Amino acid sequence: MSQKTIYKCDRCGKEKEDDHQFLRRLAIERPDAWRATAPKGYIDTPVAVSWCQECYFALGLIKPWSGYPEIPNNPPSPTMEELLREMLREIVREEMPQC
């Protein structure tokens, strides 16, 4: 016997068979100040919903991925050999008497 799970968005009702990048959970809790004034015996539970990515995009809670940012075309960093050669040139200039 096989089972089939259908995921459904709590906001728009869109359905999908796999949840890969479809549903994201959002939990909302009341602030502590509200809990202090709540009636006796009241049990505060967070409200949790599962929304699809399109609903998050529509509300502006997350932005669609637009790809990797462009890396500026900077000149390559000097190699260790180039740095050592430059250091040695400076040492030789300081040690050599000026003619």
| Domain residue spans of the chain | 7-63+72-95
How confident is the model at residue 35, as a pLDDT?
Answer: 60
Report the pLDDT value the prediction gives residue 17, as an integer from 0 to 100: 83
Considering the entire predicted model, what is its pTM?
0.47
Instruction: Say what the pLDDT of residue 40 is.
Output: 65
Closest CA to 78 of 68, 86, 70: 86
pLDDT of residue 56 exceeding 60: yes
Tell me how far CA of residue 29 lies from CA of 12, 21, 45, 58, in angstroms.
22, 24, 7, 22
DSSP 62: S
Each residue's pLDDT tens digit, 63-99: 887 888 887 888 888 999 999 999 999 988 888 766 5
